[in-house]
Amino acid sequence: MEEPSSIQSADTHWLESIKIELAELSPLSSSWTICRVPTKLRNTNKDAYTPHIISVGPIHHEERSLKGMEAHKWRYMLSLLERTQNAVATLDACGKAILRFDNDVRASYAEWINYSNTDLAKMMLLDGCFILELLLRYSNPDPKLQSDPIFTTSWMILTLQRDLALLENQIPFFVLEWLFNFTVRRTANGLATPSLPDLALRFFRSSINNVNEETLGAGGRQNSHHLLHLIHNCYFPSSPRIETKGKRNSNNIEFIQNFIAFEQCFQESSQYITSYVLLMDRLIDTAKDVEVLERRRIVANDLGGRDDVAAMFNNICKQIVLRDFYFAGLCEQVNEYYHRRWNRYKASLKRDYCTNPWTIISLLGAFILISLTAVQTVYSVLGYYPH
């Protein structure tokens, strides 16, 4: 028979384990801007949120299918360091600085990062240097780098543009800025150097249509939390009206889906993109709706069939929760216009009698015949009355 003390010890052991778990809990960060896409959104199109060839940051770091780019990361980091006067000293200074950012880096992610401070700093340094060297090579092509497979393989740049704009594939922008200022700025030797936001937007411009860099003032440049946020800021309207014309390619659609995921997760973000897509979803249900918008040059179809465009907007809007519908006032005005009796009569007349040229000709002929008959009748009546 067990001693009472051993029974009591067994009964309290599970409580001790709970105390340990509670003591090891890390405080929740209120400043995070990078997170996993919510499951309800991911299930609508998993591929749109998953990197294809490169991992950036901790969320997809362990995926074996993305390890092939690690060698390129190391080569690019070496090239960036060799741009400076002393590569070894620059590496030491960058490593120590990134290590000091540990708390801020962890606070930028919504979930707990299960890496040591040195492993996380190594990841930030490697990924950050790769991104900067990539932006520099893209902005200023060097004939000496013609053997670089990233630029000689036709699909790699487009895929990198896609992967580096995914919500789950980001590192904090302040890490990139510090590395940029300590490496690129120091090697400029007084020469004019594009800013980091300018280099980044130049890299993404070929993959995203309708980027309005004029709307990206000092606030948008300084307050961007990561590359996706920087691109997102370029879509902010500079006036109460948003231009809806523009082509959509496959990369562009995935950018939009990641914009929506960012707006859904980041409460401080204005939901302009989500509002725009929901507006288009309200306008488009079938291929006929797409045809009408194409005729009005509101949509330039780059996807192929009109059914594909309708399905795209209908699928993107699944599982979306909207806090503030930017086009609410516009929709109210449209509904008020629709419910005016005279406007409905005009629309009915146009739909029933003005869609076919022969119908229009017949209608005009009938109108002319009735008019002539009326005139003839008037003259006949007047003929009965002497002057």
Number of domains comprising the chain:
2
Domain finish residue from 236, 270, 304: 270
In this prediction, the residues of the chain whose per-residue pLDDT falls under 50 are: 217-219, 239-248
What are 160-204's pLDDT values in tens digits?
A: 999 999 999 999 999 999 999 999 987 766 566 889 999 999 999
Taking the model in full, what pTM does it have? 0.79
pLDDT the model gives residue 385: 64
Same domain for 206 and 87: yes
Residue 358 domain boundaries:
351-383
- Domain-located, residue 194: yes
CA distance 225 to 233: 10
pLDDT of residue 206: 79
Q: Are residues 363 and 226 in the same domain?
A: no
Q: Is residue 310 part of a domain?
A: no
Give a yes or no: residue 335 inside a domain: no
- Are 235 and 358 members of one domain? no
> Which pLDDT does position 241 carry in this prediction?
42
Same-domain pairing of 371 and 242: no
**Domain annotation covers residue 56:** yes
> Is position 81 within any domain?
yes
Boundary (domain end) residue, out of 240, 270, 300: 270
Q: What is the pLDDT of residue 27?
A: 63
220 lies in the same domain as 368: no
My answer on whether 152 and 55 are in the same domain is yes
Q: Is residue 55 part of a domain?
A: yes
Q: 363 and 238: one domain?
A: no
Residue 87 lies in a domain: yes
Do 240 and 369 fall into the same domain?
no
Measured CA angle at 34 (ends 197, 158), to 5 deg? 55
Instruction: Say if 25 falls within a structural domain.
Output: no
Q: Do 105 and 245 fall within a single domain?
A: yes
Indicate whether 72 and 191 sit together in one domain. yes
